[in-house]
Structure 1
Amino acid sequence: MTGIFTLTALAFGLSVDAFAAALGKGTGDRTSPLLGALRIGFVFAAMEALMPVVGYLIGLALSAWVASVDHWIAFVLLSLVGLHMIWQAFKDEPETLKARAEDAANGPIKGPRWVHLGLAAIATSIDATIVGVSLAMVDTNLFLAVAIIFAVTFAMCTAGALIGRKAGDWLGHWAEVAGGVVLIAIGVMILTQHLSQGI
């Protein structure tokens, strides 16, 4: 059974992309009101919590065929997502990262704010679908996982939307690195636990 601490760390790792996008929103509007920040936090959190459910259902359907190597699959998926996040953070120059966060937060097309926000939330939560597959490979309480992911993402994105421009430029870069490291660490932990138990 995946514990609350592990799920909280996983939620942190998943939510850093959304956090970076929320920072981008704050960069574009340094005086974002609390209501706007709460709206950003809710939309990102809802999507970040929904995507693992989709992945979990996919993983559940496959679990009967991959039961003997499920811990390896969870390890590989989490590691790939984590490495991609770290690579993306170091690949982008600070100005590029800032522009990417602003694009995610504000949306590249014209239209209602909710549409922009929804598209940004989907874009930053795609990785969560892959992680959801890995959750199905280990003994995880899906409802607890979804609740924790929602709560952590909501808190991080609401805070991110309220952070000023200068802090946002620096934090967005290193938040992605930290999130990637956390996901890799969880993958390693799942693998070592299963191997030590002879599973």
Structure 2
Amino acid sequence: MTIATSLALAFSLSADAFAASLGKGAALHKPRLGEAARIAAYFGLFELGAPLIGLALGYTIGGYIEAVDHWIAFALLLAVGGRMCYLAIAGNEDEDAPKPKRHGRLVLMATAMATSIDATAVGVTLAYMDLHIPMTILLIGFVTFGMTLSGVLIARVVGPILGRWAEFIGGLCLVAIGVKLLFEHGVFG
């Protein structure tokens, strides 16, 4: 297979992170480039590490993890996305209170982990694909970094226009990604 296959894989795996970064960016008050890069670093590193973990698991206990990985991702995405939706609807007691300028480490780690579960599953199969594994894994991390960075910066512009609806839509996107994973794993069919 070619570098085009590796790039296509990287872009498809980064789509979830891009959607999540739109919500994360919308929940912040005019995120600066530094904060966007910080968020992108979390997502990029988790997405880069996930196939490595999957590769190791594929060699050892791949069949067991594959049976529950989608449920773990769904639970994490539901929790983070549901919280975003709740906060957008409930609003602040003080409507004039400013949005935060940064996300906490745990929130970013949970979201990045949830959106990288599919990369872990792909990692399980990398050993059986005709790809240059190190290059493919690096591309996954770098493409995810770029997509997440652009998602946060897009949300910087769109977030103030849409107000709380941007955060609500971002939360719904996270929940939808979780439900999509369940459909892809045949839970509903």
User: Which TM class, normalised by the smaller chain length?
Assistant: 0.5 to 0.7
1:157 has 2:152 as partner: yes
Letter in 2 for 1:185: K
After TM superposition, give the deviation of residue 133 of structure 1 in Å: 5.0
After TM superposition, give the deviation of residue 45 of structure 1 in Å: 1.1
> Residue 59 and residue 133 in structure 1: after superposition, are their counterparts in 2 closer, same or farther (change >3 A)?
farther
After TM superposition, give the deviation of residue 158 of structure 1 in Å: 1.0
Contact 1:49 1:150 in 2 (8 A): yes
Alignment partner, residue 95 of structure 1: 91
TM-score, structure 2 as length reference: 0.66
Between 39-48 and 4-13, the greater mean CA deviation after superposition: 4-13
Alignment partner, residue 113 of structure 2: 129
Task: Tell me the alpha carbon deviations over residues 140-171 of structure 1, each in whole angstroms, 9 at most, x when there is no partner.
Answer: 54223212211211111111123353413211
Alignment partner, residue 188 of structure 1: 183
Quick check: which one's helix share is greater? 1
Distance of 2:98 and 2:52 partners within structure 1: 30
> Residue 43 and residue 100 in structure 1: after superposition, are their counterparts in 2 closer, same or farther (change >3 A)?
farther
Distance of 1:64 and 1:169 partners within structure 2: 45
Alignment partner, residue 14 of structure 2: 11
Distance of 1:177 and 1:153 partners within structure 2: 17
Give percent identity, aligned residues only.
Answer: 13
1:83 has 2:117 as partner: no
Gap regions ≥5 residues in structure 1: 30-35, 108-118, 193-199
Alignment partner, residue 69 of structure 2: 74
Distance of 1:76 and 1:154 partners within structure 2: 27
Task: Tell me the alpha carbon deviations over residues 59-108 of structure 1, each in whole angstroms, 9 at most, x when there is no partner.
Answer: 44433342223432332223223332443244332515x999923xx24x
SS of alignment partner, residue 163 of structure 2: helix
Distance of 1:57 and 1:101 partners within structure 2: 39
SS of alignment partner, residue 25 of structure 1: coil
Task: Tell me the alpha carbon deviations over residues 23-52 of structure 1, each in whole angstroms, 9 at most, x when there is no partner.
Answer: 2434xx5xxxxxx74333222212210123
**How many residues are paired up?**
169
SS of alignment partner, residue 44 of structure 2: helix
Distance of 1:137 and 1:89 partners within structure 2: 26
> Residue 46 and residue 150 in structure 1: after superposition, are their counterparts in 2 closer, same or farther (change >3 A)?
same
5 Å-filtered alignment, 1:38-77, equals 38-77=33-72
Distance of 2:157 and 2:117 partners within structure 1: 32
Distance of 1:53 and 1:156 partners within structure 2: 18
Among residues 1, 23, 31, which one is paired with 1:20 in the alignment? 23
Task: Tell me the alpha carbon deviations over residues 9-33 of structure 1, each in whole angstroms, 9 at most, x when there is no partner.
Answer: 543333444433422434xx5xxxx
TM-score, structure 1 as length reference: 0.63
CA RMSD of aligned residues (A): 3.6
After TM superposition, give the deviation of residue 185 of structure 1 in Å: 1.3
